[in-house]
Structure 1
Amino acid sequence: MCLIVFSALGDIKNDTEYSFILLANRDEYYDRPTESIHWWKEGYLAGRDLRAGGTWLGVSEDGRFAAVTNYREDPSSGRVQEGI
Structure 2
Amino acid sequence: MFRNGLEPWHIAIMVVVLVLLFGSKKLPEMARGLGKSMRILKAETKALREDDAPAAEAQNGTAASQAEQPRQAVEPTVVTKATETPKSTTA
One fold, TM greater than 0.5?
A: no
Where on the TM-score scale, by shorter chain, does this alignment land: which range? under 0.3
Higher radius of gyration, 1 or 2: 2
- Work out which structure has the larger RCO, using CA pairs closer than 8 Å and 6 or more positions apart in sequence: 1
Instruction: Give TM-score, length-normalised by structure 1.
Output: 0.20
| Bigger fraction of residues in helix | 2
Instruction: Give TM-score, length-normalised by structure 2.
Output: 0.19
